[in-house]
Chains A and B, each alone.
Chain A
C-alpha cells in the first residue's frame, strides 16, 4: 500500500494547492531557507512520508524505552505523531501477535532501504539464540533480516551498543553488540543505562532535521553528546582541583557537594552528557544527587567494579587528552585483569566497516 504524503493528506482534507504552496512559503521563511526554499519544502512534503522506525527489543530491561518517553523537548507525543512513523515497538504498539509481526515484514518490503531500525537490547548467541524468542523465532534471526535492509541502525543504550549487564562476566547468554551482528550496516551507538531521554530524542531529530547521520567517534557514538568527559564539565570539578573530597557518605563534605572522586565516581573516565544536558528535563544527575557516576555509558563498565573504589592514577590538574587516550589510560589502570566483554574486540574490528569516514572524520552515511 502506498502511504500518503503530507500533501495528499491535506488535499484529502479539502485544502487547495494554492494554500498548500502559501504554507510552504511561510515555512520556508520561518526556517530561513532562502529563495529556493519554498520549492524544497513543497517537494519534501509532497514526496516524503514520515520516516518509518522499527524499534526491536532483544535481551534488555526496557529502561531505554522508559527513558525515551521522559524526553521533554521534544515531547514524545510530538515525535510519534508528527516526526516519525513508529510502526513497530512491542512496548507501546496496539497490535499483538501475528498482527504485530506482520508489520515488520510489511515495512521491510514497502520501505526497503528506507526505514530506521532502532534496537533496544542485544542478541544472545548461546544455543542458536534460543535465550530470546519473539514471535516463535530467535531474535537473532529477526535482527539480521531487518538490519539488512535498514537505511540506518540505531543501537539504543549500552545493551545494544556494547552488551551491558548481561554481557558482564561470565556473559551467560553470550550476547554480542548490535554493531557486531550488523557489521556492514551504518550503526549509531547511543550508550547509557539508559541513555538520557533528551539525548535520544536529540539524535533522532538531528537525523530528521539534517537528513544525515551524526558524526561519530571510533566507538560509533555521536560526538555531539558523547565527545566530552563528565569530569571536564562537572559542576563539582572545582572541588576536585582544590582537593576537596567527600571521604565518607553523608559527611560534611557530602553536605557541601564536594567532589565524589574518592567515593568511586567514574566521571573522569566517562563520556556522556549527564553533567551538561542533565537528567529528567535537567532536574539532576547522579553526581548532583550525591552519588558518583557508575560510567554506565562506557563499554564494559560492569566489569570495572567494585564501583566504590576510586579510579586510580589520575592526574589531578591539567588533564587534557582525547577521548581515546583517556579511555585507554583508564581502562589500563582499572584492570589489565578486566577482559572487556566478548563483543569489544569484534567491535574494534568492525569499526572501519561500519563507517567510512572522509578526512574530516565525517561519516558518509547521509540519510
Chain B
C-alpha cells in the first residue's frame, strides 16, 4: 500500500479493494478504468487506460495533403467531421489558402450541427441510463407523467395516452425476458433517485431523441452528401451554390436551403423543449453530484476556440467560442494559448505504450515521435491473454499525456463555458447564470460531474441558437450576391512552397482538437493530432501529475463496489472518445523509421 501526493495536488492511496471496469460502455472506443476504494468505499486511486491503437498518422505519411481530411475524419465517426475541419484548416494554414465567406458560414453550420447532434445523443443514449432507471419507469402512472411533462415544457408530445403507449411497449419488451440493450443494467441501484414518472418521461424521450437525431444530421447531408463522414474540401466546401440560374437543381438551391432552415428550427425546438427541460428536471434530483467529480475542472481548463465570424480570422474578436486557458482556478485571468509555440503544448509517454528516445522530455506535435511499445508493468496481475489489473507505476495506456506549459488540462463543454464566462461573453453568462439560478446552485457547482453534464446541455442550446442564426447569415450573404464556395488559387501542387507547416484547430464537441501538419515536395511528411480525450483521459506524466478522468474519480463514494454506477457517471460526464485519443503515429511492425522532423 502506497500513499502519495501528486505534484498537481491530489492524494493517492493504492491500498484497499481494486475495482476494474472494462469495458466502460456507452462511449466511443475502448476504455478501461480501475479504482481503489478504502474501507468506506471511497475512491482513493484511479487508473484510466485507453486499450486500442490504430496508427492512423503513420498512414498519412507521403499522402496528398488535400486528401488528409478524409483519412483523419475516420479517426472518429461519432464526432464526425470535426477532424476533417481541423485537417483542412491545418493544410490551408500551411499553404496560405484563404476560404470564401460562404465556405466559412457553411463550415460553421456543419460544425454547429455536429454539436447539436452529438450532445443530444450523448445525453440520452450514452449518459441518461446512469441517472434514469428504466425498470422503475414500469411502475409510473402515465397520467402523472403527463402532468409532470406538461409542467416542465410546452413540448406537445406529452399526453397521458402517449406515455401509456410507451410504458406498454416497455412492459412488453421487459416481459419478453429478452432485455437487449437494457440487460444487466444496474436497475434498482440505490443511487438512482428519480421518481417512476420522471423515469418514464426520460425513457420516452430516449426513444424520441433516437428518432429525432437522424433528422438533425440531414443538414450535413445537404452540404456534405452524407452523415456520418460528410465530404470536405481544402479551400472551401464542395457544395456549389446556385439559387438563380438554370441548373440550380444540381447545386445548393432554394429548396435545399429551406430544408436546412427547417431542420435547424426543429432542432432548436427539440433542444429547448425536450433536452434542456429534462436535463434540469433530472439535475434537480441529483444536486449532490454538484459536489462530486470536480477533479481538475476547478483548476485548469483550456479551449482553442471556434466558430469564426470572419473567414480566415482566428482572433478572439472573430471566434464565437473563445480561445484561452485558466490555471489554478483563477477566473480573473484567461491566458492566451499559442498552438505553434514549442514550449506550450507537449506530449509525454513515460506511462504510455509508446517509446521516446528520451522519455524524460515532452515533444511538441510538430516534432512528435511515437513508436508502439506495449509492455505490462511488473505489478500487473494477469498477462497478455487476460489482464486482471494494470500496473500504473509502469506504462499502462495507449493514450499519450499532453500537457500545456507542463499542466494537465481539462477540455470540453465545461472548459469552454467557464472560459467564456470568465471572459464575460454575454451569451454564455446568460445561459449559465439563468440555469444556476433555476437550480439554486452557486457558480462553484459547475466544477463537478453535474456541472460537466449541465454545461453540455446548455452548450447544445447555445449551438442550436447559433445554428439558426448562421443559416440566416448564409441566406443574407447569398442575397447580397455572393455565391462563391471555394478558392482554387492554390489547388495545384505546383503553386505550393517546397516546404510548409501548418496547424489546424477546432473545438470538437469533447474539447480542444489540434492537427499539426508538415508538407514537403507536395506530400505530407508529418501529421500529428492531439485530441480532446488525449487531454482528459491521459495517463500520468513523468512527474506523476494526474489528468482529468483520474482526478475526477478521486473522493467519490461508491455505494456498491460490485455495481460501480458512480464511476460511470463521472467518466461519462466527459463523453470519452477513445478512437480519437489513441490514433497516434506508429511503426508498421517491421523496420519503418519513425518520422522525426528536424
Q: Could you tell me which A residues sit within 8 Å of B by CB distance?
A: 1-4, 6, 9, 12-13, 49-50, 52, 57, 59-67, 69-72, 75-77, 80-81, 84-87, 89-103, 124, 126-128, 130-138, 141, 164-166, 168-174, 193-194, 196-197, 236, 248-250, 254-258, 274, 279-281, 283-291, 294, 296, 302, 305-308
Does B598 belong to the interface (CB within 8 Å)? Answer: no
8 Å CB contact of B52 from A4, A131, A256:
A131
Judging by beta carbons under 8 Å apart, are B67 and A59 in contact?
Answer: no
Judging by beta carbons under 8 Å apart, are B231 and A103 in contact?
Answer: no
Judging by beta carbons under 8 Å apart, are A50 and B181 in contact?
Answer: no
Interface residues of B in 89-129 (CB under 8 A from A): 121, 125-126, 129
Judging by beta carbons under 8 Å apart, are B177 and A4 in contact?
Answer: yes
Q: What are 20 of the A-B contact pairs (CB < 8 Å)?
A: A61-B76, A61-B78, A66-B80, A91-B126, A95-B25, A97-B23, A127-B374, A131-B53, A131-B398, A132-B53, A136-B382, A165-B74, A166-B56, A171-B588, A172-B372, A287-B225, A290-B240, A290-B251, A291-B231, A302-B71
Complexed CA–CA distance, A174 and B58 (Å): 13
Judging by beta carbons under 8 Å apart, are B177 and A170 in contact?
Answer: no
**A138/B185 contact (C-beta < 8 A), A63-B80, A95-B25 known:** no
Judging by beta carbons under 8 Å apart, are A280 and B579 in contact?
Answer: no
Interface residues of B in 477-531 (CB under 8 A from A): 483-486, 488, 491
Complexed CA–CA distance, A6 and B173 (Å): 10
Judging by beta carbons under 8 Å apart, are B374 and A130 in contact?
Answer: yes
Complexed CA–CA distance, A256 and B248 (Å): 6
Nearest B residue (CB) for A90: B25
Residues of B within 8 A of A256 (CB): 242, 245-247, 250-251
**A137/B385 contact (C-beta < 8 A), A93-B183, A94-B181, A131-B53 known:** yes
Does B236 belong to the interface (CB within 8 Å)? Answer: yes
**Residues 347-378 of chain B: 1 if any A CB is under 8 Å from the residue's CB, otherwise 0?**
00000000000000000000000001010000
Q: State the interface size on chain B (CB cutoff 8 A).
A: 114
Residues of B within 8 A of A57 (CB): 29-30
Least CB distance from A104 to B in Å reads 11
Residues of A within 8 A of B183 (CB): 87, 93-95, 103
* Chief secondary structure at chain B's binding surface: loop
Residues of B within 8 A of A85 (CB): 178, 180
Most A CB atoms within 10 A — which of B183, B210, B564?
Answer: B183
Residues of A within 8 A of B225 (CB): 279, 284-291
Judging by beta carbons under 8 Å apart, are A289 and B239 in contact?
Answer: yes
Judging by beta carbons under 8 Å apart, are A194 and B77 in contact?
Answer: yes
Least CB distance from B136 to A in Å reads 13
Complexed CA–CA distance, A280 and B117 (Å): 14
Nearest B residue (CB) for A63: B77
8 Å CB contact of B75 from A61, A257, A258, A302:
A61
Judging by beta carbons under 8 Å apart, are A254 and B251 in contact?
Answer: yes
Residues of B within 8 A of A127 (CB): 372, 374, 589
Judging by beta carbons under 8 Å apart, are B59 and A166 in contact?
Answer: yes
**A257/B64 contact (C-beta < 8 A), A9-B172, A133-B52 known:** no
Judging by beta carbons under 8 Å apart, are B221 and A257 in contact?
Answer: no
Residues of B within 8 A of A94 (CB): 25-26, 129, 134, 181-186
Does B299 belong to the interface (CB within 8 Å)? Answer: no
Residues of A within 8 A of B586 (CB): 172-173
Interface residues of B in 362-410 (CB under 8 A from A): 372, 374, 382, 384-388, 398
Least CB distance from B355 to A in Å reads 13
Most A CB atoms within 10 A — which of B179, B221, B563?
Answer: B221
Judging by beta carbons under 8 Å apart, are B58 and A3 in contact?
Answer: no
Judging by beta carbons under 8 Å apart, are A67 and B228 in contact?
Answer: yes
Nearest A residue (CB) for B61: A170
8 Å CB contact of B214 from A1, A89, A138, A281:
A281
8 Å CB contact of B226 from A9, A258, A274:
A274
**A81/B222 contact (C-beta < 8 A), A165-B59, A250-B236, A291-B233 known:** no
Does B265 belong to the interface (CB within 8 Å)? Answer: no
